[in-house]
Amino acid sequence: MTAILQDRVAIVTGAGSGIGRAGAEILAREGAHVVVVDLAAERAEETVERIRAAGGRAEAKGIDVTDETRLAEAISDIAARHGRIDILHNHAGAQVAGDLEQVEIAGFDRSWSLNVRAHFLASRLVMPIMKQQKKGVILNTSSSSGILYDREMIAYTTTKHAVIAMTRQMAGDYARFGIRVNALCPGWVDTPFNGPFITQMGGRSAIEAYIAEKVPLGRWADVSEIAEPILFLVSDRSSYMTGQILVVDGGETVV
């Protein structure tokens, strides 16, 4: 049986660990050639090694996605070598703790640059390629924090709400070109990404109690439980879906 992403070219940012790595691995498993992008080149290479060990195809790019010049060079290089870009998963992000008075202004700016502006830049750069192909998929990672209040995390929630608005705007503007744009909103996933919030909450036991109380399923998600929705959103399984926000949060947002 042919893999559902056979020979498609996918770019995944922030794919050196956690959800990004799990997403890159499942896309490769389903036949895509995956360009693994991460700020840390060694983590990107680790993901590539894991993909190749499983029989998949991948390459690594260690770049800062907030660097417009480097990002443009990377995307131009990918398009020139592969002749197409079918999937862009904008996943790279940062969690910056603090309420309105506590958050560092530099931290707020860094959060905006990585969580929103970098998504905007990468999407802007691949859009002419996808328009020429008359087909393409962009997936932006938001968060359950993009649709609800998240305790004393103003930088994070502001940027994640913005990602949802940007996703809907892009979807409406580019659907006529055959390009789909959706957003994924993961809830609590057990990765090091949650470090700032865990520290703010008072440690691991405090966050475990918080999740047990706030999440109806009563537990963290494993990265594999987020990888499957990623595959759904970037594949033809969701071919009539654009401008939508898929929340995968163990029921937290229904409470």
In a domain, 142, yes or no: yes
Average pLDDT over residues 132-141: 98
* End-to-end C-alpha distance for the chain, whole angstroms: 41
Percentage of the chain beyond pLDDT 70 is 98
Q: Kind and range of the H or E element at 153?
A: none
Per DSSP, the residues of 29-40 read HTT-EEEEEESS
Q: In the numeric block, which tokens belong to residue 216?
A: 């109806």
In a domain, 254, yes or no: no
In a domain, 104, yes or no: yes
| Interval 147-163: pLDDT, tens | 988 778 899 999 999 99
174 is annotated as an active-site residue: no
Determine if residue 152 is left, alpha or beta; phi over 0 gives left, psi from -120 to 50 gives alpha, anything else beta: left
Q: In the numeric block, which tokens belong to residue 99?
A: 């309420």
In a domain, 29, yes or no: yes
SS3 of 254, please?
Answer: helix
In a domain, 100, yes or no: yes
Cα 108 from Cα 206, distance rounded (Å): 25
| Interval 46-103: pLDDT, tens | 999 999 999 999 999 999 999 999 999 999 999 999 999 999 999 999 989 899 999 9
The pLDDT value recorded for residue 204 is 81
What are the beta bridge partners of residue 59?
Answer: 35
Q: Are 229 and 167 in contact (CB under 8 A)?
A: no
Taking 90 as the threshold, does the pLDDT of residue 196 lie above it? no
Q: In the numeric block, which tokens belong to residue 127?
A: 């859009």
CB-count burial class (<10 Å; 0-12, 13-18, 19+) for 252: middle
From 149, 156, 174, 240, active-site residue: 156
CATH number at residue 88: 3.40.50.720
How many other β-carbons are positioned within 10 Å of the β-carbon of residue 133?
Answer: 15
The pLDDT value recorded for residue 210 is 86
| Interval 4-20: pLDDT, tens | 999 999 999 999 999 99
In a domain, 205, yes or no: no
Give Cβ neighbours of residue 35 (< 8 Å, ≥ 6 apart): 9, 10, 11, 12, 58, 59, 60, 61, 78
CB-count burial class (<10 Å; 0-12, 13-18, 19+) for 239: exposed
In a domain, 28, yes or no: yes
**How many domains does the chain fold into?**
1
In a domain, 214, yes or no: no
Q: Give the domain extent around 119.
A: 9-191+221-248
